[in-house]
Structure 1
Amino acid sequence: MNESKINALLENLKQPDEILRRQATHQLWKIWFEQKGTTGLEKIRQAEVWLQGGNSREAEGVLTQLIEDLPDFAEAWNRRAVLYYITEEYDKALADCKQVIELNPIHFGAIHGMGLCYAAMGDLSAAIRAFRQALEIQPYSVENQRLILECTSQL
């Protein structure tokens, strides 16, 4: 990954211009999904088709194999975290989110996902910390701001 390009995109996430932020967000997701070229991207898409078709076990199998083949592919871990979150396997989702962040500390999606997992597991203080951490990268994220308020009101 081109570090200077990523740093510029991260700076764009902090700008007041909504279009600039949206473009930066899109570009970062594109970089993350395409990190391992077409092979990795095709496997992620295959898993998404299985998941959308209601076959989470097949999707999990595809993503687990992809992680075994490419253990440094952060987005494979993130997609499996999403799958685990959807299937309410929050401990597994949280573990995968943590692995994503280990591989890609600026992955705001995984940090947000950690917050969602903590909230679902009833650890609202940890959820708030995660959403705040995500806001450090994406300070204009209305979703993270809203979730902080929701969790705070439940404490």
Structure 2
Amino acid sequence: MDSLSINSLLEDLKNPDVAIREQATKKLWRIWFQQKGIYGLERIDQSQKLLDAGEMNEAETMLTELIKDQPDFAEAWNRRAFLYYSMGNYQKSLADCQMVIQINPVHFGALHGMGLCYAALGRYGNAIKAFKRALDIQPYSLVNQKLILECTLRLS
């Protein structure tokens, strides 16, 4: 998909109509997951099945191999960041989220993940910045608005 279409979807995330925003969100996620075609999509799907089965090490190995094979596949980094977050390894998750943002600066999921990692590490100022960056892309995200408030309360 070309950048014009992606820019249009990003604009739709700012639309007051919830249906338009939800549709744009789904389309962006689909684009990100399908960035590397069937191969990448199947590997991510397999890693998710391993994660769901509680086979964390196997899922990590699969995602790490995918990242080595396709280092510019932002969603592979993002899925591994989610895995690390699920394991409570916030530093590793944060590092992977930062890689996602280097590859895809408008990846609101990774920005949200960065905020969650910073909050889990007690770095509430950094968490607020990450959630605000996510809100710049998805201004109607109630979860990020709520997390900003929670982090602000923890700072005071």
TM-score by length of 2: 0.99
Tell me the equivalent position of 1:31.
Answer: 31
- CA deviations on 1:113-136 (whole Å, 9 max, x unpaired) are 000000000000000000000000
The unaligned stretches of length 5 or more in structure 2 are none
Structure 1 CA distance, aligned partners of 2:69 and 2:154?
42
**What is the SS of the residue equivalent to 2:35?**
coil
- CA deviations on 1:23-64 (whole Å, 9 max, x unpaired) are 000000000000000000000000000000001000000000
**Equivalent AA in structure 2 for residue 61 of structure 1:** T
Tell me the equivalent position of 2:88.
Answer: 88
**What is the SS of the residue equivalent to 1:147?**
helix
Tell me the equivalent position of 1:9.
Answer: 9
**Equivalent AA in structure 1 for residue 10 of structure 2:** L
- Cα shift at 1:149: 0.5
* 1:22-61 map, 5 Å: 22-61=22-61
- Cα shift at 1:4: 0.3
Tell me the equivalent position of 1:124.
Answer: 124
Tell me the equivalent position of 1:101.
Answer: 101
Structure 2 CA distance, aligned partners of 1:91 and 1:153?
23
Tell me the equivalent position of 2:77.
Answer: 77
Structure 2 CA distance, aligned partners of 1:65 and 1:143?
32
The unaligned stretches of length 5 or more in structure 1 are none
- CA deviations on 1:83-102 (whole Å, 9 max, x unpaired) are 00000000000000000000
Structure 2 CA distance, aligned partners of 1:154 and 1:90?
19
Please give the root-mean-square deviation of Cα atoms over the aligned residues, in Å: 0.4
Aligned length in residues? 155
